[in-house]
Structure 1
């Protein structure tokens, strides 16, 4: 086997994790659909509560494993899973369990992308010039702010926030820390909603998932976004003064 053939084979091996990730995600989106739904949670709530009371540690393990898999393969049901954490375990440790599991799942996507083509793409961006180089430099100079912003802003798709940092050579430890801390506000909101699901189900209602866009919730999150963006703003102002 010549050198070129070995490189081609190695490239295919590196892409395998990403191929599996996207394949399982596509299959899950088609086959699972709305399986993880409020209706399912409502109908199985007594069974879940009884199992939790009898096997608390096992319930924690299964919950975190399921949640990690949902995030890692971008399967439908992440919001319901977060609510379930609050329903089963309360606001605390429910938010800690869901945030930890989401971080592990996001890290799986990050590592798969980094292993597949993140390093090579980052090197190409470093070697490029013009606008590509300027964008890469901007991200490098403001990594903490950018990482927190994509986590805090509710409109940024979670999968995009998981994948992009791997393609611009963000360090793993920085990615993990910013992911864990950045998703706490949103996770806390939905976990608190989940903690009150018992009463909601008893009244035959559906939880309000748009609660995160209500002023008393959204404004503090936007405030955190402002704090995350502040270093970039200060740097831009200083740069303007220098000019």
Structure 2
């Protein structure tokens, strides 16, 4: 701050710098919508561009693999809808193992970037101004952060952007976030990459892909994993319950 700056001006400048990453994410999301990029994330695109995509991957595997990771990371950072279709495309293009690896890496990179944006731009100022309730909520979350973040990852109904932003607002450590993201998204990624790996046969047979039915097959075991992830929290709460005084 120069000698001509007032405290109010410096404070406004600080806030503007903090919110700049958020503004970039919002502008990127709006720009992607205006360009219609989300329209290409569909089963129809994979079917109509099947030959061209497979040829490109065959001739430029390393470039295609790196490009896929970059696309997934950017789509996650800018919160574009259609991550499911990108995951399926990964299996379609690179098989179960390659597609799963690329998706986990790309999604973890993008999620970590979004987490960092939320934590530095919004999370820190929010925690500084937090009332007693939010401080208590934050303390409880940070005490069992890994369990809660694994729960967010496993629970099928929790949107991916919510699972990336909520921990940032509650003061999660970057190390715990990256760990829970990398391993927590694996079951779902593998399941839908497996769908993509078999998509060529679906196209050849002229069948319809019933993702709704597949989701309800995957959802129960994923929800079970979510419950299991909270077992350490539940056990800790039981240990904290004081024993009832003995009656005379």
Structure 1 contact 193–207 (Cα < 8 Å) conserved: no
For 1:32 and 1:101, the matched residues in 2 are separated by: 18
Q: Secondary structure at the match of 1:76?
A: coil
For 2:33 and 2:158, the matched residues in 1 are separated by: 19
- Name the Cα RMSD after superposition: 1.6
For 1:46 and 1:19, the matched residues in 2 are separated by: 38
1:179-190 equivalences in 2 (<5 Å): 179-190=181-192
Q: Deviations over 1:50-75 (max 9, x none)?
A: 11111110110111111111111011
Structure 2 gap ranges (5+): none
Structure 2 contact 119–169 (Cα < 8 Å) conserved: yes
Please report how far the alpha carbon of residue 113 of structure 1 lies from its aligned counterpart in structure 2 after TM superposition. 1.0
Structure 1 contact 25–74 (Cα < 8 Å) conserved: yes
Which of 200, 218, 231 in structure 2 is aligned with 1:198?
Answer: 200
Which of 8, 12, 16 in structure 1 is aligned with 2:12?
Answer: 8
Please report how far the alpha carbon of residue 208 of structure 1 lies from its aligned counterpart in structure 2 after TM superposition. 2.5
Q: 1:149 to 1:16 in 2, by over 3 A?
A: same
For 1:223 and 1:33, the matched residues in 2 are separated by: 31
| Residue of structure 2 in register with 1:225 after alignment | 226
2:147 corresponds to 1:145: yes
Which of 89, 93, 98 in structure 2 is aligned with 1:93?
Answer: 98
Q: Secondary structure at the match of 2:40?
A: coil
Please report how far the alpha carbon of residue 135 of structure 1 lies from its aligned counterpart in structure 2 after TM superposition. 1.6
Please report how far the alpha carbon of residue 207 of structure 1 lies from its aligned counterpart in structure 2 after TM superposition. 2.2
Please report how far the alpha carbon of residue 142 of structure 1 lies from its aligned counterpart in structure 2 after TM superposition. 1.6
Q: Which protein shows a greater Rg? A: 2
| Residue of structure 2 in register with 1:169 after alignment | 171
2:55 corresponds to 1:50: yes
| Residue of structure 2 in register with 1:60 after alignment | 65
The TM-score with structure 2 as length reference comes to 0.90
Q: 1:100 to 1:121 in 2, by over 3 A?
A: same
Which of 23, 40, 43 in structure 2 is aligned with 1:19?
Answer: 23
The TM-score with structure 1 as length reference comes to 0.92
Structure 1 contact 32–76 (Cα < 8 Å) conserved: no
Structure 1 contact 86–191 (Cα < 8 Å) conserved: yes
For 2:68 and 2:150, the matched residues in 1 are separated by: 26
| Residue of structure 2 in register with 1:236 after alignment | 237
Structure 1 gap ranges (5+): none
Q: Deviations over 1:188-220 (max 9, x none)?
A: 110000000001111223322231321xx3333
| Residue of structure 1 in register with 2:32 after alignment | 28
| Residue of structure 2 in register with 1:212 after alignment | 215
Which of 112, 121, 124 in structure 2 is aligned with 1:119?
Answer: 124
Q: Secondary structure at the match of 1:206?
A: coil
Please report how far the alpha carbon of residue 79 of structure 1 lies from its aligned counterpart in structure 2 after TM superposition. 0.9
Q: 1:96 to 1:33 in 2, by over 3 A?
A: closer
Structure 2 contact 114–165 (Cα < 8 Å) conserved: yes
For 2:173 and 2:9, the matched residues in 1 are separated by: 31
